Structure 1
Amino acid sequence: MAGHFEALPGGGAAVALDEVEISILRSLAVQLLELIGPGDEPAKGEDPLASLFTQGPSEPPSDPALARLFPDAYGGPEGEEDDELREFSAEFRRYTENDLRARKRDDALVVVRNLDALTATGEGGAVLKLTADDSLHWLGALNDLRLTIGTRLEVADEDEGGDLYRLPDSDPRKPMVMAYLWLGALQETLVETLMS
């Protein structure tokens, strides 16, 4: 079980994590929460139903990692500008981005809460046991973390990390690359577990 998820009866998943892995996962999830930003909670005394009709932004985020997490819904081939598609994307974003941000925030919060609830074993680690619902939140958060780190590393879809395996230890990107590859392995085993 060390280093990869295994199925639990009832549709959940479990993985053994050491203290360093727990600390890294928690830190990354908190950083993701900071990147996504706080939720739009209704002000004290305001109607909470009004927040359901709050419109989101119409422009894509300027931060490349956020733009990867919240991409345009419509677009032509790379570099092709189309005013009509840009307008459709802005309209779609206006009505969906707040909900998407809330879902991504919820996913990251589940990760933090699950890790905070762990009880250490005698070997300085713990076995994380997830319910079926929590497993789906973890899957979403692991995906978002990989997309964010991959964007920061400028990983293209085509190379999917080929050059990353050959970085010298002296390269300052090496820790981020190691986190990116490790998260990919966790994500892959969680997907396999959920599909079994």
Structure 2
Amino acid sequence: MRAFRSEPAGYVAGLDATEREVLATVVADVAELLGADRFEATTAAARGADAPDESATRSLLGLRPLPAVVPAPVDPAVHRLLPDASDDDDELAAEFRRLTEGDLRRVKIDRLRVLWQALVGDAPDAPAVGHGAAPDDGEGTDLWVRREDAVDLAATLTDLRLVLADRLGVESEEDSDAIYEALDRRERGEQDPDRSAREVLQDEIREYLGSVFAALGWLQESLMAVLLEDLP
């Protein structure tokens, strides 16, 4: 993985095939948590004349009657993505959720879909986030984002990390530091040799999620760095 850099076409980051596959899986999983159907690759023909008009579909969805009550998400990871508007006023929080949650879910899912399409090479002809050959080194296919869409990508990376943080039990800076320390111990080969098979499996799953959490954080930091460099 190579950090985002500024190019004439936008901002470009280097991801190899395995990294793109891992991130695409996480993106699709988070979209499903938000209520999306499983993302699937489409062909150009499928995006053609026979495909339903997306704007019309959204308009119809927007005209559906609002339910009387929209309960807060049960899954704590989804609750992090769709937090309560107020911790003190339950009635205000419920009404705000009723009026805004549907649109917020759609916005987040749309952003996740754009990133997923870029990662699997299924982006439309003019994607907000795309994939293209690395301009300087030619090493495979890189992830790029137009300057005007970089903030949306940064927000999506935040959503992905919020879900992973919940699954990892990260509630504080100390919890986050512990994830990085565990990854460092793994790199140094300092795991306890007397762990049971169950403990080994649990550690491997946690290390896998921790690696993705750390990689997304590093990628997001590199994106924010180039955005700050381009400020007037």
Range into which the TM-score falls when normalised by the shorter chain? 0.7 to 0.9
TM-score normalized by the length of structure 2 = 0.69
Residues 54 and 187 of structure 1, relative CA distance in 2, 3 Å threshold: farther
TM-score normalized by the length of structure 1 = 0.80
Give SS of 1:162's match. Answer: helix
Deviations 1:160-193 (A, max 9, x none): 5121123254413011011101100111111122
Deviations 1:36-86 (A, max 9, x none): 1138x9xxx99935624643653210001001110101014xxxxxxxx01
Alignment of structure 1 residues 35-184 onto 2, 5 Å: 35-38=33-36, 48-49=59-60, 51-52=62-63, 54-55=65-66, 58-76=70-88, 85-117=89-121, 118=131, 125-167=140-182, 169=186, 170=200, 171-172=203-204, 173-184=206-217
Residues 5 and 160 of structure 1, relative CA distance in 2, 3 Å threshold: farther
> Which region of structure 1 is more displaced relative to structure 2, 91-100 or 156-165?
156-165
Does the 8 A contact of 2:132 with 2:144 survive in 1?
Answer: no
Q: Within 1, Cα distance between the matches of 2:21 and 2:98? A: 36
Residues 14 and 46 of structure 1, relative CA distance in 2, 3 Å threshold: closer
* Percent of residue pairs bearing the same amino acid type: 32
The alpha carbon displacement at 1:139 in A equals: 1.3
Q: Within 2, Cα distance between the matches of 1:50 and 1:23? A: 32
Q: Within 2, Cα distance between the matches of 1:47 and 1:25? A: 27
Q: Within 2, Cα distance between the matches of 1:145 and 1:69? A: 9
Does the 8 A contact of 2:165 with 2:213 survive in 1?
Answer: yes
Does the 8 A contact of 1:55 with 1:98 survive in 2?
Answer: no
Q: Cα RMSD (Å) of the superposition?
A: 2.8
The alpha carbon displacement at 1:115 in A equals: 1.9
Q: Which amino acid aligns with 2:179?
A: L
Does the 8 A contact of 1:70 with 1:97 survive in 2?
Answer: yes
Does the 8 A contact of 1:58 with 1:90 survive in 2?
Answer: yes
Q: Within 2, Cα distance between the matches of 1:103 and 1:17? A: 25
Give SS of 1:129's match. Answer: strand
The alpha carbon displacement at 1:136 in A equals: 2.7
Matched with 1:26 is 24
- Once superposed, which parts of structure 1, at least 4 consecutive aligned residues long, lie more than 6 Å away? 120-124
Give SS of 1:15's match. Answer: strand
Higher relative contact order (CA 8 A, sep 6+): 1
Unaligned runs of 5+ residues in structure 1 are: 77-84
Matched with 2:12 is 14
Which of these two proteins has the greater Rg computed from alpha carbons?
2
The alpha carbon displacement at 1:138 in A equals: 1.8
